[in-house]
């Protein structure tokens, strides 16, 4: 199971077809939080999370399984089964 991390949401974001409002706290896979933090969409510092929670923020847990795209729904890569490039 992926390790979960909490972060305060800084701007409204869309995750798994769900809008999460600025000021809420999300709990998601560490890798996902780190990516959102690099994009300046969340603040994962403990003081930011504590501040949000003290001021009534909701904690929204993002299912780590739902964050991964279904391989059957991905567009074809243009590679054959051995990973070789296929001419079109």
Could you tell me the mean pLDDT of each successive run of 10 residues in the chain, 88 residues long? Answer: 89 90 95 94 97 95 63 52 56
Please tell me the predicted confidence (pLDDT) of residue 30: 94
pTM above 0.85, yes or no: no
How buried is 26 (Cβ within 10 angstroms: 0-12 exposed, 13-18 middle, 19+ buried)? Answer: buried
Please tell me the predicted confidence (pLDDT) of residue 33: 94
Please tell me the predicted confidence (pLDDT) of residue 70: 44
The domains of the chain are located at 4-73
Please tell me the predicted confidence (pLDDT) of residue 17: 86
Please tell me the predicted confidence (pLDDT) of residue 63: 76
Q: How far apart are CA 10 and CA 22, in angstroms?
A: 5
Q: How far apart are CA 24 and CA 9, in angstroms?
A: 6
């Amino acid at each position: 199971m992926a390790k979960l991390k909490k972060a305060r949401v800084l701007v409204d974001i869309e995750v798994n077809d769900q809008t999460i409002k600025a000021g809420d706290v999300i709990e998601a896979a560490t890798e996902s939080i780190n990516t959102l933090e690099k994009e300046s969409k969340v603040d994962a510092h403990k003081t930011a999370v504590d501040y949000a929670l003290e001021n009534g923020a909701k904690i929204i847990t993002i299912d780590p399984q739902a964050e991964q795209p279904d391989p059957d729904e991905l567009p074809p890569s243009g590679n054959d089964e051995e990973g070789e490039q296929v001419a079109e």
